[in-house]
Structure 1
Amino acid sequence: MRNIWTIAKREYDHYFISPIAFVVAFIILFSIGIYFVYIVRVTSQQALFGGAPTPDITPITWLFTFLLVFTTPALTMRLISEEARMGTLELMLTAPVRDFELVAGKWLGGMLLILTILAVTAIYPILLNSFVDPGIDLRLTLSAYLGVVLVAASFLALGVGISAVFTNQFAAFFTTFGLFFLIWFMMALPANLVQGSGGDIFRYIDMSAHFLDSLNQGIINLSDLVYYISLIALGLFTGTVAVEMRRWR
């Protein structure tokens, strides 16, 4: 565990040496800030006519996960592929660090960055809670934020796994983005077209459905938790196997 934390801290610090962390943080926080102002403005206008819905945090958490589809590949593309390209991965593999510890540490470093950005957005439910009487739905807010954490953890794990497979970080980026686009946006189409068990399989693979239809609605199902944990395990396993194969080349 100490090795994982050491690698995670190193990766977290490294993000702020390069501009990528600032670019990703700016894109997410600026977009969410603009969207929040828009939501408050529209809700205020609707309130003048007595038809305003009770505001909640779900539009913000939806936008956060939407942006993760496009920004997470940029965070993960260099985690292992760049180490392999520069030859520093071989040096790390000679250290007393297990392959899983290396992959998990890289993943945790990315998670720390996402959690830092997510923590900044906590100002929005606090503001909403001060605007709304008797306050926003705490259960819904916590469930939605849990969903964001699980989505981010899954994306990062899959991204780290793909980064371990490729030496070229741009190949890792486009492969990761293609996978995320597929499981977030494209699974709904075959899920609706295919009947029976085939449609159920596509529906289960649809990553956005597990978030939008459950966690972002305040519903925490065991099947959704298992789904995201399985994706995290798959990504970390893929990365570990890929690193182990590099060790024996």
Structure 2
Amino acid sequence: MQLTAIPSLTDNYIWLLSDAQGQAVVVDPGESAPVERHLQAHGLSLRAILLTHHHDDHIKGAAALQMNHHSAVYAPHDPRIDLIGHRVSDGDLISLESPALTLRVMGVPGHTLSHIAYCGDGKLFCGDTLFSLGCGRLFEGQPEQMLASLDRFAELPADTLVCAAHEYTAANGRFALSVDPANPALQQRVRDVDLLRAEHLPSLPVSLASERQTNPFLRVDDPAVIDWCRHHGAAESRVSRFAALRQAKDHFTA
């Protein structure tokens, strides 16, 4: 199965999976035009559209794509997504015949309350819940919800490819280094990302193993992160440590 990150809007990625027979699935099409160009350039047929949450930069192109290609749409139970399709929730399995693909739906509230992710074929399509070296803002959920969602991701196989929806890695890396500056894996990841972005290449996907070593939001139990939280008056619980990290990232400007 071929995985492609299609750049969209300012810093979004629309993820596309396609098989050798030219059958394709897209995730979170915030606009239709770049998807249409890719489909035409590679002779692909769009069979399904997967949506993680209701924000416009993830769904605005879905209606046009559905109309043009008669594609099946899978989306969370949320009336703010006004599309005819299949509503899915935590624990559901999506089994597609063409392309042959099975995905497990994960309910991951935090960024929004109805946010879901799709996991299968060794890949995690996590929308705005998990970013490389970071995580999503808490627009609707509470810290304990987002931390629980990230904990679920952290339990997936180490070789799972994290397919996040934004190119935020360089900025996230600067914050991560302010928390965990002596982390050699993080230092190397930041260097690698700088080289990729200098060549206008995506920093994604990235292995979950790498994120476990480098992402402070997946490392709230690591001694270095606990020490940072202690200096910020928030070391007593996992949730308080996560909340302190998220609040600091919200106001980080370096």
Tell me the TM-score normalised to structure 1 length: 0.24
Which structure dedicates a bigger proportion of its chain to strand?
2
Which structure dedicates a bigger proportion of its chain to helix?
1
Larger relative contact order, structure 1 or 2 (CA cutoff 8 Å, min sep 6): 1
Larger radius of gyration: 1
Tell me the TM-score normalised to structure 2 length: 0.24
